Structure 1
Amino acid sequence: MEYNAWLEYEWDTVLEFCLMMLETERYAGQDVAGYLPFVQSCLTFFDEHYQYLARQRGAKALDGEGHLVLYPGSGAETYKMANNSTATIAGLRTVLTRLLALPPAYGTPAQRQQWAAMLARIPALSLREVQGHATIAPAKSWERINNVESPQLYPVFPWGIYGVGQRDLATAINTYRYDTDVQKFRSHVGWKQHNIFAARLGLTDEAAELTVGKLKDSGRRFPAFWGPGYDWAPDHNWGGSGMIGLQEMLLQTDDQKIYLLPAWPKTWDVHFKLHAPYQTTVEATVRNGKVQELKVLPESRRKDVVVMD
């Protein structure tokens, strides 16, 4: 347990490691069997810990709909003493869904049944209306705001529940545009992810503005020694989040689908080569907003490429 204002009840980061481990199978075809005990233990923690806490408060381990009650929790380091944090729910849903999507050789039938049962216990994301628009809420409820993150958009990144080509994209766009905290916290500084959110939502102008802000010269002797931002100099989170946003502007994926130029300004010429899932690489040259050359390996994946207007 971490009893400080920022880290109390904040354990979601472990789910990001789980996703990265599983992505090595999806992208590179690597054997991830050695990672499964770690992933399983992380999921077991959330499942057993929150049922244990519920039993301390009352007679039942689950809510009236048979779902976990994720309390007390945290929406990143920002929405504290949260009930059913959106970031936690999205992380658990994505990791469990990816586990079940692994080839059948991974996991015993009993393990897969256990994963499916846990997925059924994960509550739904909370929504709320802001300025007449349906948006994703940071949590079902919370007691205080402690930092300046936007975990109501974590279902967009890193968890990929909302995005270009997926259902209900408008709700996520509404969250980016109308949620007052998201707008107040929007920035290119430091580890802020708003450039990535904008790219994943297909918001080209916002993605371009924020990514340029992140990757501009630091003004120091070493151009990539950004900061201090929210931490210190050199703060390479500027470059890390900037590079992720830049790549998401060029290429996004949704299972088999590969979306090219989902948030790329038509006035920016570019040549790029990027990896996609299922041992795929995509190389393209774009001039005046048009794809001039396109090379997809293996060639059989070309049918999955969608060039966005």
Structure 2
Amino acid sequence: MEAPRTHTTVLLNEAVDALFSDGGTPFDAAAQATYVDATFGRGGHSRSILSRLDPSGRLIAFDRDPEAVAQAALITDPRFSIRHEGFSNLGVLPSGSVGGVLMDLGVSSPQIDSPERGFSFRFDGPLDMRMDTTRGESVAQWLETAEINQIAEVIREYGEERFAGSIAKAIVARRQERGPISTTSELAQLVADTVKTREPGQNPATRTFQAFRIFINAELEELQQALDASLEVLQPGGRLAVISFHSLEDRIVKQFIAKHSKEEYDRRAPFAAPKVMKLKALGRIKPSAEEVAANPRSRSAILRVAQRMPA
């Protein structure tokens, strides 16, 4: 019998502390407030948040993955609810109604370790990679018709892969000669045969798999929409905490917080009062050496925290 796939929540205490700790700021982290776990995953952060809420508190979770939603259904706490949709839909919540938003980006360990999901080159399985398996096209379906330039652009932009052009040509040549790629092992082998040099310790297919996953799930667009929506739903003093796992995500979060953490001046009206900043940056946290040793997948994680300022 296959052992159940487990997930170790990254920066669990640090992220939840960031939502509730006042840290000497004006924020009163009331346990009666409504909080959002924008990426439920396997519920580690959600369960920790629930443990800190009063009976009148509330937690709303979002997740696109049907397996995550099924896991959330096991939580019988009446203060908890789950929405089977992407966290870009955060804006459906009432304006100023939320005391804290937590976003844990990336892929969960059960997703990576499930061959049938197609996220990892470590296992042979269908080349799927969809977060929501109930809708949209898989990577394999997209590659059946995508043109060389489009494939290369995706690999280059989302994988930061310098051999993007060569990989794209190889994918299309393989499609024309023997039919489209349909499994993870086929894609991994094709990339390995095409990319002759790679950073020590990294599989040649790492960047390509990352690129296709980000693209097929529109992950960066989803993140940007969710960040924008967080400004509307957070109440004054509410906290935004975002855990990212690669530079593309972290850059978006960093730039978003920086943009809204400064006063804006209208150059056309130099004597007008500036627009007040919407956020206050509260810091950047990395996993401890102990956490990285216990869970190597946490080594690239970065937690950024900001606070919603009064309008």
With the shorter chain as reference, the TM-score category is under 0.3
Higher normalized contact order (CA 8 Å, seq sep 6+, divided by chain length): 2
Tell me the TM-score normalized by structure 2.
0.25
